[in-house]
Amino acid sequence: MDAKPTDGAAKGAEFEKGDVVMSVNGKPFSDINELRTYLAGFGWGTETKFRVLRSGQVRDIVLKFNPATLDEKK
């Protein structure tokens, strides 16, 4: 992550600046465009498990794609 998400579906999730996404739902990614395409396939209400590397420790973060997080931006 370049920065802590302040808007979009990841707003309010436990992501932090510097997190390295290792996998989503157990599927590893090494290319950001592949990751973006994969995430675009999820519908609203879907829960997704991200495995990230933060400060040398592996962490799991669950993100629910919630359209309400988009409305909060307004």
Indicate the SS3 state at residue 1.
coil
Q: Is residue 28 in some structural domain?
A: yes
Q: Is residue 2 in some structural domain?
A: no
Whether 51 and 27 have beta carbons less than 8 Å apart is answered as no
Indicate the SS3 state at residue 68.
helix
Residue 65 sits in which domain range? 20-71
Report pTM.
Answer: 0.70
Q: Is residue 6 in some structural domain?
A: no
CATH code of the domain in which 35 resides: 2.30.42.10
For 8-48, write each residue's pLDDT tens digit.
555 556 678 888 889 999 999 888 899 889 988 888 888 88
- Number of folded domains that form the chain: 1
Q: Is residue 30 in some structural domain?
A: yes
